[in-house]
Structure 1
Amino acid sequence: MGLFDARASFRQAEHRSARKSTVPPRSLQSRRNGVKTDVSRLFEACSATPHSARPRPQPGPALSASPPSAPAETGCDVFDDAAIYCRISKDEEGDAHGVANQEEKCRKLAYTLGFEVGEVFTDNDIGASDKTGRIEDAPRPSYDRMLADVRSGRFNRIVAYSNSRITRRMLQLEELIQLHEETGAQIFTVVSGNDDLSTADGQRVARIKASVDAAESARIS
C-alpha cells in the first residue's frame, strides 16, 4: 500500500468515527420523535378548541388585610347569676370574720362552676335552728329576701359554704325542695356537695344531711 492509499484509508476511518459520534442512539432518537409527536398533537388540540371554552383557573380565597384577632380570654364561661348565702350563728368577736371567710370560698366555687355572682346575702350572728330560741326574735332577713329573689326569677342558683349554713330545719328543707320544683333553682355548696333536688335520690340525700344537721344543732344547743 502506498503513502497515498494509507492517507485515504485514514481519512475514511476518521469520517466513519465522526458520523458515529454525531448520530444519536436509536432509543434516544425514538424518544425525541415521540416528544415531537406529543407536542404536535397538543398544539393541534389547542388550536381546535375555542378560546372561550377553555377552562380558566378559579380565583382563590381573598386574603384579608390583617390576620383575625384571637378571642379574648375570660377565665371561664359565664352561665347566669348566682346568689351567695353566708351565715354564722354566733359572732362572738363581732367582726364578721366568719361570714367573710365563707363568702371568699363561695366566690371561688362560683368562679369554678362558671357562675356570675349577682349578690351576696349575709345573716351574721343569726341561728338557723328552732332550738336556739332566736328564730322568732331574729328572723333571717337576708335569707328571706334571697328566696324572694329566687321566686321572682332573679337567681336560679344558690351557693353556700355548707347545707347547714342554709338551714338546720327539716321543714325549711322541704320548703327548698318545693322552691326547686317551682323555679328549678339548685343549691351548690363548698363542703356538702351538690344535691340534685330534681331527683328522688337527690332529695333523699338532702333530707339525710338535713336530719344530721338538725341532730347536731339539738346536741349543742
Structure 2
Amino acid sequence: MFKLLLIEDDLTLFNEIKERLNQWSYDVYGITDFNKVMQEFSAVKPDLVIIDIQLPKFDGFHWCRMIRSHSNVPIIFLSSRDHPTDMVMSMQLGADDFVQKPFHFDVLIAKIQAILRRVYNYNTEQVSLKTWCNAAVDYERNTVTNETGSVELTKNEMFILKLLIEQKNKIVSRDKLMNSLWDDKRFISDNTLTVNVNRLRKRLDEIGLGQFIETKVGQGYLAAEEEMV
C-alpha cells in the first residue's frame, strides 16, 4: 500500500480526498501541526506528497523547497489560483505535477497512478498481487490460488474482494461498497451487491475460503485473515 501525505489545511477537502484515495487502497496522512510539517513528513516517510499552495504559516512552495532539500519523493501541487507563474514555479522547485482546483477526482487519481508507476516501476507487478489467508490474490488475472487449487473470479467479484482484503479484519460498510462500485458503474442496486457477495463467497468455497468473507448484519462485510497455526 502506497503512503500519501496530503498537506492541505481545508479539512473538508482533505477528508473528501482522503476518503476517495482510501477507496483506491492508498494510505493517506495529513498534517496535524503546520508548525511541524517536516517533522511529520519524516515520521510518515510518504511515497508521494500532495501540497496545496495556500497554507497557514508558510505556503506550499516553502514546504516543497524543504522537502526537496531532504528527499526526491514525487510531489503534486494543488492550487485554486490560476496564475501561470504558480505552475512554472512549482516545476522549477522540483514538483512532478500540478492540479488546478476545482478538479475532477479522476484526473487527480490518474496523475497519482502515472507518477507512482513511473517512480516505483520496479514494484508495479507486486502491487497487483496480494497474500490473504495463505492464498495468492492476483488482481490482474482475477484469480485466487492456494494449496487447494485456484478459482477465477469475475471482475465484479474481484473488485469486491479487493476492497475487502485491503481493509482485512475491518468492517467495510455496505454504503462504502455501494459508493465505490457505483462510481465504477458496476452495480445498480443494494440487492445486486448482496447477490455478488454471495457469488464471491461460493467461488471462494471451492478452495475453502468462503467462510472468511463474513457478513456483519446491519454494518457491512469483513474479510477475515486466517489465523496462523
Fold match (TM-score > 0.5): no
Max Rg structure: 1
Structure scoring higher RCO (CA < 8 A, sep ≥ 6) equals 1
Structure with bigger helix share is 1
Structure with bigger strand share is 2
